Structure 1
Amino acid sequence: MKRLLFSFQGRLNRAPYWYVHLVIFLVEVAFLAALMIPAVLANDAGMLANSAVAANIVGALLFLPLFWISLAVTVKRCHDRDKSGWFIFIVLVPVIGAIWFLIEIGLLPGTRAPNRFGPDPLED
């Protein structure tokens, strides 16, 4: 699990890539829900301010690990497509970059044989 989530080495096929990003999305949704519930239920401005401070602290603590995990998994997915991790910067190209990235990394299968980044993750 440590190698999957924190290492930038190796390759990763589509299924784990999408599963990790789904879990990250669910954590973010749960955090936003936890942030919104006190705001909706608060009748006291002081309680709302304390809730906002706590939410900022928790949000800051969650951001870095989730960002690192997302970046590591995405780089390994690029490696599976036989692309350098620097390929993630293609999303900076307006409109077409994000579409190209989604198709290339999210939808197309990885290379079937070992490549310069390691063995095929689907081989036994």
Structure 2
Amino acid sequence: MNHYTDVLKKYAVFSGRARRQEYWMFTLFQVAIAIVLMILDGVLGTYPLLVGLYFLGTFVPSLAVTVRRLHDLGKSGAWYFIAFVPFIGGIWLLVLTATAGQTQPNEYGPDPKAYAA
């Protein structure tokens, strides 16, 4: 839960770098919360109200952590738009977010793993 709250604390921080662990733990919590809210929406008959409001409220931090994750690879945040390329774009972004970051400092900041050690 720590990585999830860290990302929310950096609500609109698009600068710096994010480790794979920070990105994927945030994503895991996003999916888990979305599943719970979908079930709750189904029980209450309000689908997709709760899950829609949740995703609307967490869109900016989700975008920010993705941009910081791309920065960890030495890539511009504009690479996020690769996801909009039909068929292969989403897969390409998935591969990028799963790729190990640069171990040396880059133009976006020092290696975030260096701080964790």
- State the TM bucket, normalised to the shorter chain: 0.7 to 0.9
Structure 1 residues 95, 61: closer, same or farther in 2, change over 3 A?
closer
1:114 aligns with 2:112: no
The equivalent of 1:46 in structure 2 is: none
Matched AA of 1:72 = A
Given candidates 49, 52, 55, the residue that maps to 1:63 is 55
User: 1:21-42: per-residue Cα shift (whole Å, max 9, x none)?
Assistant: 1111111111111011134xxx
Runs of 4+ displaced beyond 6 Å: none
Q: Which has the higher contact order (CA 8 A, sep 6+)?
A: 1
Alignment root-mean-square deviation, CA: 1.8
Kindly, what percent of the aligned residue pairs are identical?
Answer: 37
Q: Which residue of 2 aligns with 1:6?
A: 12
Deviations 1:37-72 (A, max 9, x none): 134xxxxxxxxxxxx39x63x445423221112101
Tell me the matched-pair count.
Answer: 108
The structure with the largest alpha-carbon Rg is 1
Q: TM-score, normalised by structure 1?
A: 0.78
1:73 aligns with 2:65: yes
Structure 1 alignment gaps of length 5 or more: 40-51
- Structure 2 unpaired stretches of 5+: 1-5
